[in-house]
Structure formats: C-alpha cells, structure tokens
Amino acid sequence: MKRVYNFSAGPSVLPLPVLEKAQKELLNANGHGMSVMEMSHRSGMFTDIIEEAEKLLRELMDIPDNYKVLFLQGGASTQFAMVPLNLFCNTKKADYVNTGVWSKKAVSEAKKYGEVNIVASSEDTTFNYIPELDESKFSPDADYFHITLNNTIYGTRFSKLPDTGDIPLVTDASSCILSQVYPVTKFGLIYAGAQKNIGPAGLTIVIIREDLIGNAMDFTPTMLNYETHANSGSMYNTPPTFAIYVAMLVFRWLKDLGGVPEIEKYNIEKASLLYDYLDNSKLFKGTVVPKDRSLMNVPFVLPTEELNKKFIREAAEAGLVNLAGHRSVGGMRASIYNAMPMEGVKALVRFMEKFELEN
C-alpha cells in the first residue's frame, strides 16, 4: 500500500528512515538476537540505547550539565500535576497564561495544590492569538510561571518568551520541541509528550534544572516526584523502552539533517508555503492572527461546514489524511511536524488549489 501524507496532530508522522530502521531491527536489534521490546530495561543493551538517546537530545537542544533529562510516562497531562506537586515549595502560587485547552487543563490541576494567577488569556476570541503580557500582573513571589509554548489545537505559538526574572519559566513544549531553537537556559522546566516530534506515544520528556528537584510536597506520590526519576536515571520502574529506542533513532535522524537550526529553516519554508496560499485564497481562510502563527499546526476553514466536510473527505481520498480540526473547534488543521516532508505540504497546497477551482 502506498503511504499517505499524514497531517495528524498526534500521534503523528515519523521520519521514513526511522520507521525503516525500526522495522529492520524489530526482530534483532543491533545484533542482540532480540527485539528492543524484549530487552530487560536494566540490561547493558538497553542502557546503551537510553544513554545515547539522552546524549543526542542534549546535543540537539544544547542542554547544560545542570539540567536533568528524564524519560517518563503519563503524557504531558500527568505533568500538569507533577509540575505543581514538585514546584509549589514556597508560596504555593503560580502564574499561568491561558492560551487553550491544554493550558486550561494545566491550570485546573495546579489549582488542586495551590493558588493560580491567570496573568493573560486569549479565550475571548477562541484562542486565535497569544495575549500580550503585562509584567505588572506577574506575581513577584510565584513559585513558577507556566506557558504552553505551541498550542496544537488553535495553531498559535509564543514567538517571544516572557521575562520572568528569577521565577522559573515552565513550558509544555509537546507540539514544538525540536522544531526550532529555544534556549533551554531560559526555562526552569520543559516537558513534552513524544508523539508529535519525537517518537511514538507513551514517552514523555522532562528537562529540569537541578535546583528545582527535591522540593516536592510531602504527599507527592513516589512516581510523581521528579527526584525519584532523577536519582534512578529514569529507571525507577520499567520505562517505555521501545518508545525511547524510536526517539533515539529520531534524534539520530535529526542530527544527520544538521540539527535543530536546519530543521527550523525547513519548518519555516513548509509553513510559509501553506500560509502564503491561505493568505491569497478566495475560498480558504486561516484562523490565527498572523504574528502568532504556529510552524507546526495550521488551522483553516471554508465558508460552510458542508464544504469543510467535503474537503476533508476528498482530501483523504487523495491520500491527504487526518486534516479534520480538533472536535472543539472544527474546520481543518494541517499538522506539519519535523517529519512531514516538503512534498506533503506541496501536495496539500496543490489539492487546495484544485478544490478552490472546483468549488
């Protein structure tokens, strides 16, 4: 069967060379006579994999030595609770910027453990922009400041990071990690579900500054304490071994391409191609304020719901799949993560041009 162009927001497209390598090694990984899925996570064979994965990620993101890299489970959604459980260590206050569904869920979890100050929100126009931040509304004694770096559902991103001074900046980077250069030192903690730009679902990456570890609330469950995982090298329990292995292959692939600076240029080219078409179309319309447009997730609509459904159906028939927008907003959304080739975006634009002529 011919492979389709998969515009899913996650789990999402993976690099073809990575899939082929994983397929080749599925029964016999690196000459060990067994699959990675069969290896003991405490064996030397798997230790080599997780150590290479961490080494490559540190290189790709220029992660300093005073940050720990953790390979966890539970998705970004578990991080919504882990962050306050571990970082509410002084005033039990935190500042949050509300830019969509995922930040709202993060706020909801944090409120269970402390006080949350919403410093800004874009809910007034269905989150189609990043709100301006007024530093006078920041809490001077907050334990941390939380943003969602890229908003998968709405197609917005922070192009400028807030200056939070000595207060740790925390971010959910699930849908933009490794897509462009972000200085890790600007953050106290970065977390990301893997299933968009890193690998299969089941793995969550946490990059945390060491001074933020070891201050968890007394009632924090052992598995939700960053110190547990930092002290055990992400081996306190069985980690998602196959997902870590595939992530390692993705990191190798990205390094071979020239790293994050090179993929950022490529991502800008892909996004520009699609946004340029939307800006000049008489039928299709992008939904995001231009200055806040995501490089990863591009939402757009047609004049009627009937046309939206027709477009999604006919696009799928043409091998352009998973273009339906999130159920909460409707319309269409093209997720063009690192592994989406330029050819896929060109094919989408050609199909949109054809659809526009016919409708």
Give this prediction's pTM: 0.97
Contact call for residues 180 and 260 (beta carbons, < 8 A): yes
DSSP 191-254: EEESTTTTSSTT-EEEEEEGGGSS---TT--GGG-HHHHHHTTT-SS---HHHHHHHHHHHHHH
Nearest Cα to 73, choosing from 302, 265, 241?
241
Q: What are phi and psi of 108, to 5 degrees?
A: -60, -40
Burial of 19 (0-12, 13-18, 19+ CB in 10 A): middle
Q: What is 52-106 written as a DSSP string?
A: HHHHHHHHHHT--TTEEEEEE-SHHHHHHHHHHHHH--SS-EEEEEE-SHHHHHH
The full DSSP string for 156-173 is: EE-SS----TTSPEEEE-
Provide the annotated active-site residues: 102, 172, 196
Strand partners, 150: 157
Q: From CA 57, how far away is CA 346, in angstroms rounded?
A: 30
The residues of the chain scoring below 50 in pLDDT are none
Strand partners, 206: 70, 191
Tokens of 48: 């080599």
Q: Please give the pLDDT value at position 242.
A: 98
> What is the spatial distance between Cα 39 and Cα 84, in angstroms, rounded to a whole number?
34
User: How far does CA 17 lie from the centroid of its chain?
Assistant: 21
In the chain the domains, ranked by start, together with CATH numbers, are: 16-257 (3.40.640.10), 260-358 (3.90.1150.10)
Q: Determine whether 124 is exposed, middle or buried from the number of CB atoms within 10 Å of its CB (0-12, 13-18, 19+).
A: exposed
